[in-house]
Amino acid sequence: MSILEIYNQGVREVYERQKARAGGTWHSHITLVDAAGVGQPVVLVQDDADHVTEGYSVQKLAVATAVMDKVDRGELSLGRKLDLRADLILGGTGSYHLHTVWGDEITVANVLTAMLLVSDNTAVRMCGRVVPAQEINEILAAKGFAHTRVEPVADPARFFLGDTTPRETHDLLWRLATRTLLTPASCDFLLGILRATGGYHDGVRRNMSSRERARVATKPGQDHNTLGASRHEAGIMFGADGAPALIYALFAEGLGDRDNYGATHPAVEAHAVLGRAMFDAVHSR
């Protein structure tokens, strides 16, 4: 058995054990890039990867992609300033709602950083002011995504985060990692935020050193619906040489422990165990 086959088998076995332990219904896509970086990634896990599901905050990756696409076309600047109005403030995750006073002028770059680093919900509304829902969906369609969409509402600047699939989220991340989703500079900007060690650590990055965490770009998405709790996480692991080495898109729904958004949720604990196994498969790259 080759080293690659051993890694494949090891990650698959850890995935199946953790999936069974956490319960719920999982839809996932995990691939390993060969050491030479040639060709398409090798599939490690393909578990109902085309299932259309609510992406929750993982969808903020798609929103950020649409904003940066508009920047790339010269129709928007990262330096453009927007006023942080009180009527836009949305609670939950993030930091803008903690200010207690509002009215700041903040750049689009600031908004995207808050949205991806600390999953700020108000930042989504700020993005809608510069790229309305319909335009976001048109950009995503033009990039070849058939199911990844936000859900428009009556106000064109507002939307729900909508649906995606594990495969499409994986493909978005693969193209981001290979700097083909957007211009190289725009890809690097988003990756720099997603890899920042001030971001999310409860899941895939939990059992890692700070140096190891800096080699992982990740975005969680957590909420609940009539099926139960959903705990998602998607991202990219990089080799020591800076090249993408592994892509993961983990979507789990119908879970218990609905109101636990912390590190002790069974699915988040599963992400942590799986994260260590995935990183061990690429740590020497």
For the stretch 136-190, pLDDT in tens is: 999 999 999 999 999 999 999 999 999 999 999 999 999 999 999 999 999 999 9
CA distance 17 to 8: 14
Check whether 64 has a pLDDT greater than 80: yes
Treating both helix axes as pointing N-terminal to C-terminal, what angle do 60-72 and 121-130 enclose, rounded to 10 degrees?
A: 30
Residue range(s) occupied by CATH 3.40.710.10 in the chain: 3-74+132-282
For 235, phi and psi rounded to 5 degrees?
180, -170
DSSP 100: S
Check whether 36 has a pLDDT greater than 80: no
Top-confidence residue, 34 or 173: 173
CATH number of the structural domain 3-74+132-282? 3.40.710.10
Q: pLDDT averaged over the chain?
A: 94
What is the pLDDT averaged over residues 27-51? 86
Check residue 35 and give its pLDDT.
66
Check residue 283 and give its pLDDT.
76
3-state SS of 224-261 is EECCEEEEEEEEEEECCCCCEEEEEEEEEEEECCCCCC
For the stretch 80-102, pLDDT in tens is: 999 999 999 999 999 999 999 99
For the stretch 177-206, pLDDT in tens is: 999 999 999 999 999 999 999 999 999 999
Check residue 40 and give its pLDDT.
76
Check residue 78 and give its pLDDT.
98
